[in-house]
Structure 1
Amino acid sequence: MANDRASYFSLLTQPTVAQLVLRYLELEGVDRLFGIPGAAVMHLLEELRLQRDSFEYIICRHETGAAYIADGYSRVSGKLGVVLVTSGPGATNAVTGTMNAQNSGTALLTITGEIPEAYFGLGYLQEGIDASLNIDAIYGSSSRYSSVVTSPSNFQTLFTQALRDALSLPRQAVHISLPDDVAAAQLDLVRFPTSSHNYRTVPQGADPQRVQRAFEALIQAERPLVFLGNGARGPLAQRASLEMFTAWVEKFTIAVMTTPDAKGIFPERHPLSLRNYGMAACEWAQCYMDPQRLDPSLPPGYDALLVVGSTLGGLATNKWDPLLLPTGSFMQLDVDPSVIGRAFPIELGIVAEAGTAVEYLHALGERTDPNAAAVSARRELIARLKQEMSPFVDPAARDSDATPIRPAALMRILNQALPPESDIFVDAGNCVGWCLHYLEIDPPTRIHSSLAMGPMGFGVGAVIGGKLAAPQRTCIAVVGDGAFLMHGSEVSTAAQYGVGAIWVVLCDNDLLMVSQGMNYFFPDPTNPDVWSDYYKLGSPDLAKFALGLGADVYNVGTPGEAERMIRQAITAANADRKPQVIVAHIDTRDVPPYYPPKAAPKAPPPGNDPPAGTPPAGS
């Protein structure tokens, strides 16, 4: 007979499925859900109303935006992000944000309502099952796990499986389709877990022998390198783990670079940091791997690489550039064995949780003496590299005080204005290149991007979730005007809930990344400006748009205005709990470092002069 008095579960009598959903979310520390309500989730909505002291349902302006906001909330809080939307178009609208979370390593649960089971296949309004629209199939192909709860009896099995997948390593996005009559149904008796640890766990191990082999290969190399990916973000966000990792690389003078989506998880101002490689790479990272760029008399290449927590995708590797291949050991460590050796042949694969591996490396380093001569030579090379070479492709642009403001200079000003412990959310487009290359990120400041899928509007929404998760931190998004027009309506969500998020909108009245890219790949010698008018946005007044949504608004055209107004916006956002929108009228002639410098595309001509700086409207 089962022990019904065990300490790891309790007995619940006649709970509804809707009540169990919220009980599980409570176990996971969830107190906010994001979405747009509808009839197919009416019993969950009623339960949320009854438990409004424990849960807040944030009403967003679009289901995709709700998923982006939940994504940002999860990234900053470390908790599960939860999206709750209705069936049919509500469910399909949330797919993009869910898919993006899956590809970004974010723990996200999307719950979509569904019509009552009695009406399956009959053509009921917004039906998404047994009909021409199959919501489960859509989510099944765009997230880690998707299931339809067809009965109260299988709810716990399916729902806890979703939670296990979402909150394991790597973190992932999952989906549950919940017909409304199932949500309303009661179960007679439920054995309910006491803690989340009673139904899920996460990998915590490593392979000591293989980690030791990697350690020995690195310390015996002349020019070793550690390449950190987004899978190392969680462990290195823990102060103890970062300190152990830093002590280890300092003792043996091992250079460190990151993938673009892991930018800043190791301090970029640290003497051993080569900053980010891949898309919009730092010049230091490329030069360390090809030291003859610095001095033709130096031996070519480098001789040992340990990749930690990266799938080595296209943007992380400059489309799998062979520059990344060392002359010696190539080692890859990841908690997911399916990605090890996928992009490049490797000498050593290590299935391990990154945090545990860092502990092992630190312990090995504690009882090992470095090769003093090799360490000294590496230290001199890295110091020389940084002394003789700028990390930036165009340092003059970053230092510029020209008008209209140059995007690289705007990044410098943003760096100087942001307080420690800020969260920066980068959207898709040219803003990615400017932020990756010209921002300098040191923990506890963090930068968040979505480079696997690169959806426009991610940063516009995610910054709201970030600020809700950490009201004491400055949360700022760097976005293009195209993305802001897509999802800027979520500024109204921030205004409604008193969220002091900040948006810096790069205003060029164009989908400029596309224009410049097309001009690079398909130039027309007979008409050099042919691409300059193809993707214009119609000159919308973004300041009035944002003002109407409830934000304080600042028009910025010069470096001086940018410096003054960014600081003013930061102060107001944190003091007044009100959204702040900075419309930065940038020089459209500048091109981010996406292309080989000698073959950079000709930028479209500059637009009209930006308006003079104005005081914040609506404040």
Structure 2
Amino acid sequence: MNAAEVIVGSLEKDGVQYIFGIPGGAIEPLNNALYTSTIKVIVTKLEQGAAFMADGYARVSGNVGVCCSTAGPGATNLITGTASSFADSIPVITLTGQVSTSLFGKGAVQEFSIQSFSIVSIFRQISKYSDIIINENKAGEMIAKARRLALSGRKGPVHLNLPADIMKRKVADEHHRKFSTAQVMGFDREAVKEAAKLLLSAKKPVIVAGWGTVLSRADIELLELAELMDIPVATSPKAKGILSESHPLSLGVLGFAGSPTAKEYIIKRDVDVMLAVGTSFNEWVTPGWDKKLLPTKSMIQIDIDCNEIGKNYYVNTGIAGDAKTVLRELIYELRRNNKRKKLRDDRCKDIQAIKESLKVNPKKLDKMPYHPERMIMDLAEAVPEETLYFVDSGNCMAWAIRYLNIERPYSFFVGLGFASMGFAVAASIGAKLAAGDKPVIALVGDGSFLMNGTEVATAVNYNIPVIWVVMNNSMFGMVHHGRKLAGIPEGITSSFKPVDFVKFAEGCGARGIRITKPGEINKEMMDEIISTGVPTVLDVIIDPEEVPPIHSRIATLEKLYT
């Protein structure tokens, strides 16, 4: 076997089913190895799309996503997607081709620099591990190490650079073996005991569940703890739905475009003990590091990454560890010592009273043009509960965070760590390959769709029935409305001429449907689209003047960036 076959064989044994990428001369040895493997290659339209698809696949499957490219520009096109995975702790293996070692420094076609090691250096800034294989006998060891690092501790992307001549060289069979993935599941028992005491003594506690709760698949533990101690739960925008938003103890999303109930309960009232699970308290969730978010008595923070504990707010008790493991131990400790009466009815009534006090008169959403809030409501009512939503950056994200009611954990995904426009357009394709029969909807703005919309042709090529819902208002909406709210002039214009996304979809071989008024997105239509199983683009003409709930973001910009 040669080194490329060792790498592919290792991925195959570890359950990798798909690799996303684009072919090229420097990666032909990998192509030859994939030709005889069971791994299916999804050839994308741009390498950035391949990185996002690998990311989407990893988010839904829980296994590593894998993407590949040729040397030079192919590799650099993977950078934004890899950086997005790094920011959101998504396990992706990125494989990039390289010219033969004998050509290093000679100026070969697509050689990245005169040393040929610069691409490795770049990926080291945006991944957990980046290296070049310069010894064929190390191929098996290095791909195993890469996978271990991607899936262990705080997960994230890894990168290997593959010189063409090294990939062709024969290696001994003993180097082709499967390596297990080691997980560190430890925790500080004394810190857990201290956290339990603080929660038992709390009069008005709250849980803020972040993305780390989602990554560790800790929905059952979160629900058990909340119900055991009758503690209201808010989530970060990325963790939306980790606790059903219809649960009596749910406060909804805290932070950007979040629930007014969460803001009222946590920021405007006196929470005495806060349990933060898997959240770094970044700008999106705080919002803008509002000091009023701090509890009056104690802050408890659980995170698998020690660097995140106490980074943005003072923490009384920090517990380093996997969210699922630590929550399980905390529940055990609380059950041993919990002798107080149940408070659930009181706290649920309190939450309900807040929701009632914040109710506003229903807007007239039947008017034309189509109101984005009404569009979100129509969509939510029209699709099955098990639908997975991939939501792009921009106004679409704000409308979705505020108005989509998520009932099931692991069904709402937004790439907020890096906030890359175009993420959901492509990531939804990889996600659908992992989602099986569950419908996958990409909710995107027209600006984001234009960045990676050619990947619709990729979905057509492999009959991957994603549904793209394009909120079409001929502008970069968050920039446009943000400027209007802040009184900023249009130097770099935020609007553009209208695009016909029905024709765009049909040109890619997909189905295109134009939506212009309330009620056109309905259960009958969505059932037909889902049952037909064809990649479909809904070109939804929305009211360009409606301002999404982005006011906290604008206030943060004015406060921190001036």
State the TM bucket, normalised to the shorter chain.
over 0.9
Asked if 1:304 corresponds to 2:281, the answer is: no
Partner residue, 1:41: 27
Change (3 A) 1:355 1:132: closer
Q: 1:203 to 1:570 in 2, by over 3 A?
A: farther
Q: Give the length in aligned residue pairs.
A: 557
Q: 1:215 aligns with which of 188, 196, 210?
A: 196
1:583 aligns with 539
1:24 equivalenced with 2:5 (yes/no): no
Counterparts of 1:161 and 1:322 in 2: how far apart (Å)? 42
The amino acid that maps onto 2:25 is A
Aligned partner of 1:164 in structure 2 is 148
| Amino acid across the alignment from 1:509 | S
Query: Aligned to 1:362, what secondary structure does the other structure show?
Result: helix
Structure 1 CA distance for aligned equivalents of residues 555 and 132 of structure 2: 52
Matched, 1:469 2:469: no
CA contact (8 A) 2:300 2:316 kept: yes
1:120-269 alignment to 2 at 5 Å? Answer: 120-131=104-115, 134-193=118-177, 195-197=178-180, 200-236=181-217, 242-269=219-246
- Given the superposition, is the C-alpha separation of residues 534 and 47 from structure 1 closer, same or farther in structure 2, using an over 3 Å criterion? same
Task: Tell me the CA shift for residue 367 of structure 1.
Answer: 3.1
Secondary structure of 2:514's counterpart equals strand
Residue 468 of structure 1 and its aligned partner are, at CA, apart by: 1.1
Asked if residue 438 in structure 1 is aligned to residue 403 in structure 2, the reply is yes
Counterpart amino acid of 2:94? T
Taking the aligned partners of 2:555 and 2:82, their CA distance within structure 1 comes to 37
1:396 counterpart = 2:362: yes
| 8 Å contact from structure 2 (residues 502, 511) kept in 1 | no
Q: Does 1:537 align with 2:496?
A: yes
- Looking at structure 2, the residues matched to 388 and 522 of structure 1 have their Cα atoms a distance apart, in angstroms, of 32
Does residue 509 in structure 1 map to residue 493 in structure 2? no
The root-mean-square deviation of aligned C-alpha atoms, in Å, is 2.2
After superposition, the C-alpha distances for 1:196-252 in whole angstroms (9 at most, x for unaligned) are 42xx3112222222112112211211110111111110334xxxx534432331132
Paired residues of 2:7 and 2:139 also in contact (CA < 8 A)? no
Please give the alpha-carbon distance, in whole angstroms, between the structure 1 residues aligned to 2:267 and 2:34: 58
Do 1:422 and 1:444's aligned partners in 2 also have CA atoms closer than 8 Å? Answer: no
Q: Any unmatched runs of 5+ in structure 2?
A: 558-562
- Identity of matched residues, %: 33
Find the aligned partners of 2:221 and 2:94 in 1 and give their Cα distance. 36
SS in 2 for 1:372: coil
Q: Give, in angstroms, the shift of residue 547 of structure 1.
A: 1.2
- Structure-2 residue corresponding to 1:296: none
Q: Which residue of 2 aligns with 1:572?
A: 529
Q: 1:310 to 1:177 in 2, by over 3 A?
A: same
Counterpart-to-counterpart distance in 2, 1:186 and 1:280: 55
TM-score normalized with structure 2 length: 0.94
Tell me, yes or no, if structure 1 residue 594 matches structure 2 residue 550.
Answer: yes
- 1:62-141 matches, within 5 Å, as 62-131=46-115, 134-141=118-125
The SS at the match of 1:87 is coil
CA distance in 1, matches of 2:555, 2:307: 37
Decide whether the 8 Å contact of 2:141 with 2:175 is kept in 1: no
Q: Which amino acid aligns with 2:362?
A: A
CA shift at 1:376, angstroms?
5.2
Deviations 1:444-469 (A, max 9, x none): 56100111211111000011111111
CA distance 1:307–1:502, change in 2 (3 Å): same
The match for 1:411 is: 376
Specify which of 519, 525, 535 is matched with residue 560 of structure 1.
519
Q: 1:548 aligns with which of 507, 525, 541?
A: 507
* SS, match of residue 262 in structure 1: coil
Distance 1:499 1:290 in 2: 43
In 1, are the aligned partners of 2:447 and 2:475 still within 8 Å (CA)?
yes
What secondary structure is seen at the aligned counterpart in 2 of 1:559? coil
Instruction: Determine the C-alpha separation between the residues in 1 that align with 2:148 and 2:135.
Output: 20
Per-residue deviation, 1:162 = 1.4
Contact (CA 8 Å) 2:515, 2:521: kept in 1 or not? yes
Question: Any idea what SS the aligned residue of 2:520 has?
Answer: helix
Distance 1:388 1:164 in 2: 50
Code of the aligned partner of 2:98: E
Confirm whether residue 332 of structure 1 aligns to residue 301 of structure 2: yes
Kindly indicate whether the alpha-carbon contact (under 8 Å) linking 1:520 and 1:600 is maintained by their aligned counterparts in 2: no
27-36 or 361-370, larger mean C-alpha shift: 361-370
Quickly say closer, same or farther: Cα 1:302–1:96, change in 2 above 3 A: same
C-alpha contact (below 8 Å) 2:200/2:338 kept by paired residues: no
Q: Structure 2 vs 1, CA of residues 187 and 265 (structure 1 numbering), >3 Å: closer, same or farther?
A: same
C-alpha distance in 2, partners of 1:445/1:347?
30
Check the 8 A contact 1:129/1:136 in 2, yes or no: no
Paired residue for 1:9? none
Q: Distance in 2 between matches of 1:599 and 1:22?
A: 50
CA distance in 2, matches of 1:270, 1:117: 59
Q: In terms of Rg, which structure is larger?
A: 1
Paired residues of 1:474 and 1:570 also in contact (CA < 8 A): no
Instruction: Assess, with a 3 A threshold, how the Cα gap between structure 1 residues 303 and 260 changes in structure 2: closer, same or farther.
Output: same
2:417 paired with 1:452: yes
Structure 1 Cα separation of the partners of residues 104 and 295 of structure 2: 57
In structure 2, relative to structure 1, the CA distance for the partners of 1:227 and 1:600 (3 Å cut) is: closer
Aligned: 1:343 with 2:299: no
Provide the C-alpha distance between the structure 2 equivalents of 1:477 and 1:213, rounded to a whole number of angstroms: 43
Deviations 1:167-202 (A, max 9, x none): 113210111000011111111342443x442xx311
Kindly tell me: are residues 542 and 532 of structure 1, through their superposed partners in 2, closer, same or farther at Cα, counting changes over 3 Å?
farther
Which residue in the other structure is 2:258 paired with?
281
Which is worse superposed, 123-132 or 90-99? 123-132
30 and 533 in structure 1: CA distance in 2 versus 1, 3 angstrom threshold? closer
Q: CA deviation at 1:164?
A: 1.6
Cα offset, 1:302, TM superposition: 1.0
Distance (whole Å) between structure 2 residues aligned to residue 372 and residue 141 of structure 1: 51
In 2, the alpha carbon distance for the partners of 1:67 and 1:175 equals 12
Give the structure 1 partner of residue 247 of structure 2: 270
1:532 & 1:124 partners in 2: Cα distance?
Answer: 41
Deviations 1:248-280 (A, max 9, x none): 311321010111111111111100011111111
| Aligned-pair CA distance for 1:83 | 0.4
Q: Which amino acid is 2:396 matched to?
A: C
